[in-house]
């Protein structure tokens, strides 16, 4: 029997909390899989402790990780990962989002070649306005990242440990775990799952939430293609703006020479100069980015090895004897 | 300089199942001329054809062959770096996997390296590519040579020989493989160039298009920046800010003259606005420079030091006889 770990990240104080834990242990019992339960109390430590004490005899042994203040999902994941050695993980949130049968399917779908299984909630039970917003968000992300995922908002995932260890999630990046995993060459599957229940805001989510999602999308876009060569991204835009500024100033100058326009008090001169400034600023930011990557990011490997042949190991490096030097000779008087 | 004890041949491959077999055959034919032990590292850079399967088959016929398979396509630089990291030789030879480079040039590279060089680069003097690839390549080579001071005719030739410790010290990333000789100059490496053969592509198609030209020119600018200013970025940004500083001074002067001489309405204010905008440019570029300098200061400064083995100190005694320390 393989060892699984079910990581339940609790952020809300909901009545069905213990029942949902029972469902998870029941699912693993029916699959005859060993499963250790890790509950991460994300700012709701007192609630979880109270629930466990009230029950008296828990369904199974639970590791409780209490975070004293609310942290991101990625931080909670990291804290939970430190407490378990399981190589396969089921990650869920505060309540059961997908049906018991779908949870079974999710776990069973993490078979040999697959590294991450994500659900796509069908027959949704949340209000139409929420579904519309979710659909719009997922569509925008699919277009920008050219990935096939339809339901990034569902935080239930079945994942291999190596995926989480390699990806180094931070901030709000847990939502985009399937995209980041696909980018790194992991095998990701999306399966249809029955939507069970949904708690949370209805309708308008708040300006901060929308702004946060927009920023996440922009970050994804930047990360996926430009994080190693920022000058290409910023430089291209900078050249565009500066070029437009030069064009405007050239046109105004030409008009002045031809006697058609005056330079003094001409707002086009200011516009041209501002465009050049903007272009130089944007390019300058790209240059700083390039220096940052060169200074701090050179040691990070761009490659991910899947398989080797011929006995290659990580320690396969050669030490060059000290007398085989290279470089400039320095002659001292 | 003594001959290498072990030579590693590193070849990145992307969808080259048709050429890899012939390439390995050519290397085996030439191998008696190597005059040292050798190993062959084939790096499958996320191929979608049968390249890896072909490599596995070839392993059975060639004990010197070792293979690395990437999970996904990561680019030529990443494939070369993986080869550099996992090779066991004290000299590394790289070449393309499309049979355009000729393995029979490897002994000539080694011979040149034995004269005391750390990097020997191939020069495809008689290049067998379409002019649309050759012309931008020549422009790029001229630009890189001129701007970095490391004069090579052909930066784009993959057939190169490296002293292992020299190439590992670069810690390359992105698409830096074209600039290895220029980057190596930062560590004090000695670079040479020899003429090598170039053959037309026999199988498959080139993986590069016009977009690469724009990327290469952007990279040339970035590499120049890194070589010149990675240890003193504030200076680079101050140089960039100088024209704006001159504009600010000039327009302040004009504004003052306009105000003192009572030029027509608004002229003085107009010139003052332009001067302020220019000053904004100076200040923000200066701030970016300070930020970049801070990044360097807070780093471990490893990129600012020559590798210890890059410096050999000789001391001459009073009678003029020298000796190494």
Total length of chain A: 333
Evaluate whether B103 touches B27 at the Cβ level (below 8 Å). yes
Q: Which residue's entry shows tokens 């501002």? A: A274
User: C-alpha distances in angstroms, B237 versus A234, A288, A297, B82, B278?
Assistant: 16, 10, 21, 34, 15
> Is there a contact between A185 and B70 if contact means CB atoms under 8 Å apart?
yes
Q: Do B310 and A325 touch (CB under 8 A)?
A: yes
Best A280, A292, A294, A315 member to test B by mutation, with max B CBs in 10 Å, is A294
Write out chain A's pLDDT in tens, 333 residues. 568 999 999 998 888 888 888 899 899 999 888 889 999 998 888 888 888 877 656 556 788 898 888 888 888 998 999 999 999 999 999 888 999 999 999 999 998 889 999 999 999 999 999 999 999 999 999 998 889 999 999 999 999 999 999 887 888 889 999 999 998 889 999 999 999 988 877 888 888 888 888 888 888 888 777 778 888 889 889 999 999 999 999 999 998 888 877 777 788 889 999 999 999 999 999 989 988 888 888 777 888 888 899 877 654 443 333 333 333 332 222
Could you tell me the pTM of the whole model?
Answer: 0.77
CB B122 within 8 A of CB B159: yes
In which region does residue B149 sit, left (phi positive, over 0), alpha (psi from -120 to 50) or beta (all else)? left
Q: For position B209, what pLDDT does the model report?
A: 60
A-chain CB neighbours of B55 within 8 Å are 309
> Which H or E run contains B25?
helix B17-30
CA–CA dist B256, A196 (Å, integer): 74
Contacts of A284 in chain B (CB under 8 A): 237, 240, 284-285, 288
Lookup result for tokens 């996926």 = A224
CB-based contact A10:A63 (threshold 8 Å): no
Yes or no, beta carbons of B59 and A270 under 8 Å apart: no
Determine the distance in angstroms separating the CA of A225 from the nearest CA of chain B, rounded to an integer.
11
Q: Which residues of A touch B118 (CB under 8 A)?
A: 326-327
**Which of B1, B71, B280 minimises the CB distance to A277?**
B280
Chain B residues lying within 8 Å of A304, measured CB to CB: 70-72, 74
pLDDT of residue A321: 37
Asked if B125 and B197 touch (Cβ cutoff 8 Å), the reply is no
Burial B83-98 (b: 16+ CB within 10 A, else e): bbbbbbbbbbbbbbbb
Q: Which residues pair with A8 in a beta bridge?
A: A39, A92
Question: pLDDT, tens digit, for every residue of B5-35?
Answer: 899 999 999 999 999 999 999 999 999 998 8
CB contact at 8 A, B110 and B3: yes
End-to-end CA distance of chain B: 18
For residue B12, what are the β-bridge partners? B43
DSSP class of B188: T
pLDDT of the residue at A318: 38
Hey, of A327, A331, A332, A333, which one would you mutate to test binding to chain B, going by the most B CBs within 10 A of its CB? A327
Q: How many other β-carbons are positioned within 10 Å of the β-carbon of residue B114?
A: 15
**Residue B252 pLDDT > 60:** yes
Provide mean pLDDT across the span B95-100.
Answer: 88
CB-closest option in A270, A293, A322 to B309 = A322
Residue that is written with structure tokens 């699912």 in the block: A27
How many Cβ atoms are within 10 Å of B52's Cβ, its own excluded? 22
Distance from CA of B126 to the nearest CA of A (A): 31
The reported pLDDT for the residue numbered A59 is 56
Chain B contact probe: residue of A187, A188, A309, A319 with most B CBs at under 10 A: A309
Cβ–Cβ under 8 Å, residues B185 and A309: no
Residue B122, pLDDT above cutoff 90: yes
At residue B316, does pLDDT exceed 70? no
Q: Does residue B4 register a pLDDT over 80? A: no
Contact between B233 and B293 under an 8 Å Cβ cutoff? The reply is yes
Q: Are strands B37-44 and B65-70 parallel, antiparallel or unpaired?
A: parallel
CA B257 to chain centre: 51
As a whole number of angstroms, the distance between CA B301 and CA A20 comes to 52
CA distance to partner chain B, nearest, from residue A281 (Å): 7
CB distance A327–B189 less than 8 Å? yes
Determine contact, residues A245/A275, Cβ cutoff 8 Å.
yes
- On the question of pLDDT at B298 being above 80, the answer is yes
Helix (H, G, I), strand (E, B) or coil at B162: strand
CA-nearest residue of chain A to B62? A310
Cβ partners under 8 Å of residue B233, min gap 6: A287, A288, A291, B289, B292, B293, B295, B296
**A122-A125-A126 Cα angle (round to 5):** 110
Q: Do A277 and B85 touch (CB under 8 A)?
A: no
B99: left (phi over 0), alpha (psi -120 to 50) or beta: left
What residue in B sits closest to A308 (Cα-Cα)?
B68
Give the 3-state DSSP-derived string for chain A, with helices as H, strands as E and coil as C.
CCEEEEEEEECCCCCCHHHHHHHHHHHHHHCCCEEEEEEEEECCHHHHHHHHHHHCCCCCCEEEEEECCCCCHHHHHHHHHCCCCCCEEEEECCCCCECHHHHHHHHHCCCCCCCEEEEEEECCCCCHHHHHHHHHHHHHHHHHHCCCCCCCCCCCEEEEHHHHHHHCCCCCHHHHHHHHHHHCCCCEEEEEEEECCCCCCCCCCCHHHHHHHHHHHHHHHHHHHHCCCHHHHHHHHHHHHHHHHHHHHHHHHHHHHCCCCCCCCCHHHHHHHHHHHHHHHHHHHHHHHHHHHHHHCCCCCCCCEEEEECCCCCCCCCCCCCCCCCCCEEEEC
Question: A261 to chain B: which residues are within 8 Å by CB?
Answer: none
Residue B182 has pLDDT above 90, yes or no: no
Q: What angle do CA B246, B247, B253 make, to 5 degrees?
A: 95
Q: Mention every residue, 6+ apart, whose C-beta is less than 8 A from residue A41.
A: A10, A47, A48, A49, A64, A65, A66, A67
Residues of A whose CB is below 8 A from B276: none
φ, ψ for residue B78, nearest 5 deg: -60, -40
Indicate if the alpha-carbon torsion angle A58, A59, A62, A66 is positive or negative. negative
Q: Do B78 and A228 touch (CB under 8 A)?
A: no
Mean pLDDT, residues B303-321: 47
Which residues in chain B have their CB less than 8 angstroms from residue A296's CB? 295, 299
Per-residue confidence (pLDDT) for residue B304, from 0 to 100: 56
**B143 band by pLDDT with thresholds 50, 70 and 90:** confident
Mutate to test the interface with B, among A303, A311, A319 (most CBs of B within 10 A): A303
Burial of B262 (0-12, 13-18, 19+ CB in 10 A): exposed
A59 with A27: CB under 8 angstroms?
Answer: no
Residue with tokens 């600010």: B248
Which of A294, A303, A331 shows the shortest C-beta gap to B81? A303
* Chain A: closest CA distance from residue B233 (Å): 8
């Amino acid at each position: 029997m393989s060892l699984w770990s079910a990581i339940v990240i609790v952020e809300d104080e909901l009545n069905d909390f213990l029942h949902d834990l029972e469902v998870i242990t029941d699912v693993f019992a029916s699959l005859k899989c060993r499963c250790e339960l890790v509950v991460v109390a994300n700012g709701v430590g007192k609630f979880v402790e109270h629930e466990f004490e009230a029950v008296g005899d828990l369904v199974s042994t639970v590791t409780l990780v209490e975070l004293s203040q609310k942290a991101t999902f990625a931080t909670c994941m990291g804290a939970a990962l430190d407490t378990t050695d399981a190589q396969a993980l089921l990650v869920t949130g505060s309540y059961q989002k997908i049906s018991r049968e779908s949870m079974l399917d999710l776990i069973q779908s993490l078979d040999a070649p697959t590294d991450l299984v994500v659900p796509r909630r069908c027959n949704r039970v949340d209000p139409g306005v929420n579904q519309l917003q979710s659909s719009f968000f997922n569509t925008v992300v699919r277009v920008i990242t050219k990935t096939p995922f339809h339901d990034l908002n569902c935080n239930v995932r079945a994942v291999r440990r190596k995926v989480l260890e390699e990806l180094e999630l931070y901030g709000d990046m847990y939502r985009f775990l399937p995209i980041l995993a696909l980018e790194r060459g992991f095998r990701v599957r999306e399966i249809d799952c029955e939507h069970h229940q949904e708690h949370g805001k209805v309708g308008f989510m708040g300006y901060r939430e929308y702004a946060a999602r927009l920023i996440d999308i922009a970050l994804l876009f930047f990360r996926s293609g430009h994080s190693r060569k920022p000058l290409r991204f910023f430089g291209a835009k900078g050249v565009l703006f500066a070029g437009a500024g030069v064009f405007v100033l050239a046109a105004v100058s030409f008009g002045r020479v031809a006697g058609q326009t005056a330079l003094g008090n001409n707002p086009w001169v200011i516009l041209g100069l501002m465009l050049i400034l903007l272009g130089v600023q944007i390019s300058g930011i790209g240059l700083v980015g390039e220096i940052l990557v060169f200074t701090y990011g050179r040691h990070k490997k761009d490659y991910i090895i899947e398989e080797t042949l011929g006995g290659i190991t990580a320690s396969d490096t050669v030490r060059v004897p000290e007398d085989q030097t290279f470089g400039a000779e320095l002659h001292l008087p | 300089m003594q001959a290498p004890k072990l030579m590693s041949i590193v070849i990145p491959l992307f969808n080259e199942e048709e050429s890899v077999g012939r390439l390995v055959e050519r290397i085996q034919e030439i191998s008696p001329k190597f005059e040292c032990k050798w190993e062959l590292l084939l790096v499958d850079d996320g191929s979608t054809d049968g390249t890896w399967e072909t490599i596995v088959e070839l392993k059975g016929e060639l004990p010197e062959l070792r293979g690395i398979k990437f999970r996904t396509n990561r680019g030529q630089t990443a494939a070369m770096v993986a080869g550099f990291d996992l090779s066991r030789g004290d000299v590394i030879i790289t070449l393309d996997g499309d049979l355009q480079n000729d393995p029979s040039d490897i002994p000539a590279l080694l011979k040149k390296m034995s004269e005391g060089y750390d990097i020997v680069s191939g020069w495809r003097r008689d290049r067998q590519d379409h002019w649309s690839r050759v012309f931008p390549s020549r422009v790029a080579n001229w630009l890189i040579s001129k701007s970095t001071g490391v004069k090579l005719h052909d930066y784009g030739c993959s057939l190169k020989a490296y002293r292992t410790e020299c190439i590992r010290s670069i810690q390359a990333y992105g698409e830096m493989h074209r600039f290895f000789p220029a980057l190596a100059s930062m560590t004090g490496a000695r670079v040479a160039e020899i003429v090598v053969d170039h053959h037309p592509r026999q199988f498959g198609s080139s993986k590069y298009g016009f977009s690469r030209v724009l990327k290469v020119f952007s990279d040339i600018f970035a590499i120049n920046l890194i070589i010149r200013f990675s240890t003193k970025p504030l200076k680079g940004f101050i140089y960039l800010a100088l024209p704006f500083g001159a504009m600010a001074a000039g327009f302040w002067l004009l504004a003052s003259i306009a105000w003192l001489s009572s030029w027509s309405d608004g002229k003085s204010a107009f010139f003052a606005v332009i001067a302020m905008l220019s000053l904004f440019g100076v200040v923000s570029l200066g701030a970016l420079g300070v930020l970049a300098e801070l990044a360097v200061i807070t780093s471990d400064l490893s990129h600012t030091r020559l590798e210890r083995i890059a410096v050999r100190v000789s001391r001459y005694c009073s009678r003029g006889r020298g000796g190494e320390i």
